[in-house]
Structure 1
């Protein structure tokens, strides 16, 4: 007997063709259910196709293999897009706060928590998958935070020696123990107030770090003949 929750049936006859974007979302929802029930090693493309209500041929036309499907699920492109929303029209301080909030909420989203649990349960057997997950998701957000920290320092006439390291530290301070809470089942909505308080505290520390960073060197005077 299958341990995957049943999807409501479509009824007799051939299922209607879906637009590519809608088909992709149906597949990701099905993959989420199968991965949640069986983990990464135990999940089979045939199970995902059956849960999605489509043929394996249709599934493979969208995703070449299980790894590609899991990476798409982990990256969750629609949700991740909000992490990289343009913030050029915002003051650096406000842009950094918005970036931290959106990236941490993304990290605490149900799909990201599922992906994290799967990678933890796989242990070292899927190190390449974990590395890909980090590069596609976590590292991209941290690079954005580093850019915003540099802009904030420059706005105050200072310069950071290692903005990427500071971005990692800032993200850790803002996240605190919320990732652990989410992994054990606390909903993101229930920790929103704590998250915003931790972000405010982390931002205060970031401003303190920046105020103690080295002053930006003035541009050299142009040579005159």
Structure 2
């Protein structure tokens, strides 16, 4: 009997190999299931997608999928909150100039939020937010709150360095700054009015927003 944890290609590669067959760890299985689910949700739509279809895409049995994710909603939460491309997860050492660091972080956040994958996940969250508020809550904590902290740390550093005479409420200022850079573009992108991400144009937009905040006026 073939093992449900492997795709047909996996089983073909293992045939004839001496000794015990390789077995995926639970973490590896969970990753494969999340990746398969994301693909199915993107192509089929969350409402029409089934756990059986996700299991087939992952090359596993439904029993294996259900052993790790109790239902489709818990799987969607896992897909949305899995840290894979967050800019703060693989960040570089801070630049010497706080203002340059602020620009870099705003550009990283913009590229992340406007990426096709993140837009797709954001649409999924919005579509299910009313019936699954816990999904929206997890998305807010994992993406929005961490984005604000990531940018806010650089803004606070610029304030402490004397480059910005901003308010004590850096969190509120960070929200407004991110909004000035991204709000209009994000809404347009979510509605499908997307253009290829242009780093130079985004950098110019960031500089304009910073000038409005009294930063980088020169």
Task: Assess same fold via TM > 0.5.
Answer: yes
Residue of structure 2 in register with 1:97 after alignment: 103
The equivalent of 1:152 in structure 2 is 158
Shift of 1:117: 1.4
Alignment match, 2:181: 174
- Paired with 2:178 and 2:215, the residues of 1 have a C-alpha distance of 15
Do 2:103 and 2:203's aligned partners in 1 also have CA atoms closer than 8 Å?
no
DSSP-derived class of the 1:124 partner: coil
Distance across 2 between alignment mates of 1:12 and 1:150: 50
The match for 1:27 is 33
Are residues 1:113 and 2:137 paired? no
- 1:115-139 Cα distance to aligned partner (Å, 9 max, x none): 1212233352222211221111111
Q: What secondary structure is seen at the aligned counterpart in 2 of 1:143? A: helix
Aligned to 1:53, which of 50, 56, 59?
Answer: 59
Return the offset for 1:22: 5.4
Post-superposition offset of 1:88: 3.5
CA RMSD of aligned residues (A): 3.2
Alignment of 1:129-208 (within 5 A): 129-156=135-162, 158=165, 160-185=167-192, 189-208=196-215
How many residues matched? 202
Q: Is the 8 A contact 1:83 1:103 kept in 2?
A: no
Residue in 2 that maps onto 1:5: none
The residue number in structure 1 matching 2:3 is none
Identify unmatched segments of 5+ residues in structure 1.
Answer: 1-8, 211-225
Q: Which consecutive segments of 4 or more residues in structure 1 shift more than 6 A?
A: none
How far apart, CA to CA, are the structure 2 residues paired with 1:159 and 1:101?
Answer: 21
Q: Does 1:75 align with 2:87?
A: no
**C-alpha separation in 2, matches of 1:28 and 1:67:** 12
Q: Is the Cα–Cα contact under 8 Å of residues 152 and 170 in structure 2 kept in the other structure?
A: yes
Compared CA separation, residues 95 and 26, structure 1 to 2 (3 A): same
Q: Structure 2: which 5+ residue stretches go unaligned?
A: 1-6, 15-22
